[in-house]
């Protein structure tokens, strides 16, 4: 049994962590922080947790968290880095769901996130928490940088092709769509139903913060240079990411279906669908699963991969729990065996 704390317990990823941890057999949640809701019971803010969590929100401080074995940061970017060094020095392991430790190059991080990184020395130490590529490093990590939601769906779709060297990695295209929960819980005009409902639009076309993260990670497993065109879109749904990925084939004779099935044969949270299938975000809603289908339209020289996840689970909190399970030697699927919501 381990004790965990959650910094930022009132956002979507924070409450999703609380939902998933509520039935985890090896975890006691001992601290949940929120400046805005300090002093209120967690289950008064989130009645869905009645009977599962009787804690009160506390101020985010080292004193409140030092008794934990692990702390999750479900906070905005440029927050975790202000507490990371002191907590690590006190022997507390960290999983950061923000972008503070995902990029290895501090200059690139500061360029894309518009802030001064206050503990750049930790960037090299941080382990990127995509279990499907970094499982062995995660096992011994003290600081895990949980991947972004778009990067998770995109990487899982491209990885088998890049590792097998069967595509031209200099001409990758990711056309990705996300539900509005990806923007977080803070009030904004773009998140209003009257703004996002009955509408569909691209954003961040000149450059999105997840682009350097995806490129960095794909480059780390590629034997050739990687160049990616990444275009995110906002769609009028609450949860879900659908990434449609394109790449030119170098090997016209490769059995794409067999390649994907073999690559993910032992991965508990990646489901390669039968040939000809079209995954639906609704089928993974509420789960830590990524469903993938691979196509070769008209038998041509392009491969199209369809990759879907729940952005709040496999794209955030569920993946964070998967990383926790690996770090502490638990069954990797503990707390993560949910069946998708339907309808």
CA atoms within 13 A on the CB side of 329: 2
Which helix (H) or strand (E) element contains residue 233? strand 228-234
Domains of the chain: 2-125 (3.40.50.720), 149-310 (3.30.360.10)
Reply yes or no on whether 149 is catalytic: yes
pTM of the shown model: 0.96
Bridge partners of 5, per DSSP, are: 31, 71
- Separation of CA 197 from chain center: 25
What phi and psi values does residue 130 have, to the nearest 5 degrees? Answer: -100, 100
Annotated catalytic residue, options 30, 56, 68, 149: 149
The two tokens of residue 45 are 């803010």
pLDDT 10s digit of each residue in the chain, 343 long? 999 999 999 999 999 999 999 999 999 999 999 998 999 999 999 999 999 999 999 999 999 999 999 999 999 999 999 999 999 999 999 999 999 999 999 999 999 999 999 999 999 999 999 999 999 999 999 999 999 999 999 999 999 999 999 999 999 999 999 998 887 766 677 777 777 778 889 999 999 999 999 999 999 999 999 999 999 999 999 999 999 999 999 988 999 999 999 999 999 999 999 999 999 999 999 999 999 999 999 999 999 999 999 999 999 999 999 999 999 999 999 999 999 988 7
């Amino acid at each position: 049994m381990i004790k965990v704390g959650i910094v930022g317990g009132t956002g979507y990823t924070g409450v999703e962590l609380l939902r998933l941890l509520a039935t985890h057999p090896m975890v006691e949640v001992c601290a949940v922080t929120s400046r805005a809701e300090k002093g209120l019971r967690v289950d008064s803010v989130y009645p869905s947790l009645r009977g599962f969590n009787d804690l009160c929100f506390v101020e985010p401080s080292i004193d409140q968290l030092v008794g934990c074995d692990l702390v999750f940061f479900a906070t905005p970017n440029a927050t975790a880095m202000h507490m990371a060094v002191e907590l690590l020095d006190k022997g507390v392991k960290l999983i950061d769901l923000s972008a503070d430790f995902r990029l290895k190059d501090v200059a690139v991080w500061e360029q894309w996130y518009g802030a001064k990184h206050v503990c750049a020395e930790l960037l090299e130490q941080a382990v990127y928490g995509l279990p499907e590529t970094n499982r062995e490093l995660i096992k011994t990590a003290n600081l895990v940088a949980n991947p972004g939601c778009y990067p998770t769906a995109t990487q899982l779709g491209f990885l088998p092709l890049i590792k097998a060297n069967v595509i031209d990695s200099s001409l990758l295209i990711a056309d990705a769509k996300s539900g509005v929960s990806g923007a977080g819980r803070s009030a904004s005009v773009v998140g209003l139903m009257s703004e996002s409902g009955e509408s569909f639009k691209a954003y961040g076309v000149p450059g999105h913060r997840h682009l350097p993260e995806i490129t960095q990670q794909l480059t780390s497993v590629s034997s050739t240079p990687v160049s990616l065109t990444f275009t995110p879109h906002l769609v009028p749904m609450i949860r879900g990411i659908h990434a449609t990925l394109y790449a030119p084939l170098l090997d016209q004779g490769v059995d794409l279906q067999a390649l994907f099935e073999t690559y993910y044969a032992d991965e508990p949270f990646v489901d390669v669908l039968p040939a000809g299938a079209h995954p639906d975000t609704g089928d993974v809603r509420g789960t830590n699963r990524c469903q993938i289908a691979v196509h070769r339209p008209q038998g041509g020289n392009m491969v199209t991969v369809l990759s879907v996840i729940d952005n709040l689970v496999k794209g955030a909190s569920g993946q964070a729990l998967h990383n926790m399970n690996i770090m502490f030697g638990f069954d990797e699927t503990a707390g993560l065996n949910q069946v998708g919501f339907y309808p």
